[in-house]
Amino acid sequence: MQTIKFSLAREMYRSMPEKTMLWNGVVEKSFGLVFGPAKSGKTIFCENLAISIAIGRDNYFGYALDGNPKKVLFIGLEETFQNRINRNISQFEILSEQEQALMDENYDVQEIEFPKFIVKKDDWNILYDTISNSGAEVVFIDSITRMNHGKLEDGKTAEEIMSRLRDLSNELNITLFAIHHTPKLHGNAITMDSIKGSSIFAQESDFAIGISRTEKKHRYMKNVFFRYANDDDEFVKEFEINHNAWLDYSGEVDEDEILQRNDRRRALDKRELVQDFFDSNPGIIYSYVEAVDQLKPKTGLKDRQIKSYLSELTKANKIDGSEKGYYRSINYHFNGVNNE
């Protein structure tokens, strides 16, 4: 096989479609993992994301979606059809009438007779044909454990599974999320090292999102790594699972803090502290720099997190950031006082 000049490589690259983000740091038509210990909420997290994509929501967990409904396929290998669909019905019932119609149109699941294990060549062929025939743009598989034909901690077995999943993503032009289990974490932070055979899983993945539950049963999501986006978040996202099997996102917290928490009470959402700061000073307009200088010692937040909260609170109409670079309470009234 011959080589090509870099000048030609540049021309070829310019003719290729630009990569676009599906959600968070996940690029469309990429492949990666949602992983964590048992009972942490991985499946429900992925179902909620899948439904949000299928019905065209514009965000999930505070990260943007493009708002265009997409065809989604969720392949659940671990639960019975009845148990899984029963939970999906609970998720469906709280949607609006329009959202329900979109979910009926765009959210597919595999047939009852679908194999429970994907280990033989025929099983992989069925999986390939099912995805191809569905026309799905985004696919979720729960879980890699049901694809294990040897020992996952053995690098060769993990490499074969991950390579096959990556081939599915590439050949069918889909974004593929694969759920994977880790052992119990025993109070430790969730990282790629939490996975047995972690080097192979990291090597073959474009993204990895951790879902964990602490020993005191606090659940959280963590951006572990992204190949095509920043993954240096300072905080994790805490959540609870409600009775309709939807995740209630409760705010960002430091991972060390949530791991060390010694009771079931949630930490105060620091966005509330930011909002309270402005509401307690309703006559003052703060520049971005002034707001950061005031909020850092009061909240313990770092600059980038404060910037993120200011943007979120402005979008939620909880503070007034309508004038670029300046912030004030939505209860603002001029009283002759300013902070200059």
Q: How far does Cα 331 stand from its chain's mean position? A: 34
pLDDT given at position 168: 97
Cα angle 45-50-55, degrees, rounded to a multiple of 5: 130
Q: Which amino acid is at 170?
A: N
Q: With residue 299 as reference, give the H or E element that holds it.
A: helix 288-299
329-332 long-range contacts (CB < 8 A, ≥24 apart) are: 329/278, 329/279, 329/281, 329/282, 330/279, 331/279, 331/282, 332/282, 332/283, 332/285
Question: In 3D, which of 204, 189, 158, 154 has the Cα closest to residue 33?
Answer: 204
Rounded CA-CA distance 118/114 in Å is 10
- Residue pointed to by tokens 């679908």: 114
pLDDT given at position 233: 76
Cis peptide before 143 (omega within 30 of 0): yes
- Sign, CA dihedral 119-174-106-238, equals positive
Rounded CA-CA distance 71/73 in Å is 7
pLDDT given at position 55: 98
pLDDT given at position 338: 43
Length of the chain: 340
**Contact (Cβ atoms closer than 8 angstroms) between residue 175 and residue 32:** no
Question: In 3D, which of 114, 110, 113, 74 has the Cα closest to residue 91?
Answer: 74
Burial of 297 (0-12, 13-18, 19+ CB in 10 A): exposed
- Residue pointed to by tokens 């905080």: 235
Q: What DSSP line would sit under 65-102, residue for residue?
A: --S----EEEEE-SS-HHHHHHHHHHHHHTS-HHHHHH
Both tokens of residue 133? 């025939």
Rounded CA-CA distance 221/7 in Å is 42
DSSP β-bridge partners for residue 225: 208
Burial of 103 (0-12, 13-18, 19+ CB in 10 A): buried
Strand 107-109 to 286-287 pairing: unpaired
pLDDT given at position 264: 65
**Contact (Cβ atoms closer than 8 angstroms) between residue 45 and residue 210:** no
CA distances to 113, 142, 171, 337 from 45, rounded to whole Å, are 25, 12, 26, 47
- One digit per residue, pLDDT tens: the chain, 340 residues? 789 999 999 999 999 888 899 999 999 999 999 999 999 999 999 999 999 999 999 999 989 999 999 999 999 999 999 999 999 999 999 999 999 999 999 999 999 999 999 999 999 999 999 999 999 999 999 999 999 887 777 778 889 999 999 999 999 999 999 999 999 999 999 999 988 777 888 889 999 999 999 999 999 999 999 998 887 777 899 999 999 999 999 888 899 999 998 876 665 567 888 989 999 888 899 999 999 999 988 887 778 778 878 988 888 888 999 898 999 998 876 554 444 4
pLDDT given at position 337: 44
